[in-house]
Amino acid sequence: SPIPFLLLGGGALLLWRSLSKKKYQDYPPLPPFTQNRVKVGDYERLPTDSPLLVPVASSGRPQRLHVLAAKRLDALKEAAARDGFNNILISSGWRPHRWRSREQYEQVLRERYGSVAAGRGWLAYNSPHETGLAFDFGSHGLAPISKTNARQKRTPFYKWLVANAHRFGITPYAKEAWHWEVKVPREAWASGEEFTDDFGVFV
């Protein structure tokens, strides 16, 4: 067919992107405080030198996130600042796989939590942080400290996140007050290209 040959150069690329973006806009709205877990198996682990990782403001050592997660975090920060929550920081973003083996992982769980079953909910073997789409807050009363988890869930900022984070495509790990995630289509994760004009969609 001669039709494909009429779509040349930048025009074809723009058309393809337009159609792809329209397709992804069919995702339904993301309800408030709805878990939508990021799993390494649905993506891959980003390497240390990935160009998809960008710097984000942190409460300690420098941190990076996947560019699409950082974009949504920036939008959340702007909205939160209007409600009095300024200088929002994260304590942990992307990080590499930390375990030498499954055996080492399970031994740490037994030592730290008493059993593998008890520890698995607090410490993952394949962490969503490895995709660059998960982060831990490190300000406004939130921090990755399990013994203060109940108190963190009573903070004004946590309550604000429960009511508002979904508007930016940011979803909770309900067990941990500090841990939040951004789920995007795998194609968007792999390319870093934006897939929607509305961050608050359930992917």
Residue range 152-169: average pLDDT? 98
Phi, psi of 18 (to 5 degrees): -65, -45
Residue range 159-187: average pLDDT? 98
Percentage of the chain lying above the pLDDT 70 cut: 88
Query: Is it the case that residue 3 has pLDDT exceeding 80?
Result: no
The mean predicted confidence, pLDDT, of the chain is: 90
Supply the pLDDT for residue 25.
62
Question: Two tokens at 178?
Answer: 């500090």
* Of residues 173, 179, 174, 170, the one with CA closest to residue 202: 170
Residue range 16-42: average pLDDT? 80
Supply the pLDDT for residue 124.
81
Supply the pLDDT for residue 23.
52
Question: Two tokens at 155?
Answer: 């903070």
The per-residue pLDDT for range 46-82, each reduced to its tens digit, is 999 999 999 999 999 999 999 999 999 999 999 999 9
Distance from C-alpha of 78 to C-alpha of 145, rounded to nearest angstrom:
26
Supply the pLDDT for residue 17.
52
Confidence (pTM): 0.83
The per-residue pLDDT for range 84-108, each reduced to its tens digit, is 999 999 999 999 998 888 899 889 8
Query: Is it the case that residue 201 has pLDDT exceeding 80?
Result: yes
Q: Helices (H), strands (E): how many in the chain? A: 8, 6
Query: With bands split at pLDDT 50, 70 and 90, how would you rate the model's confidence at 184?
Result: very high
- Residue with more model confidence, 164 or 14: 164
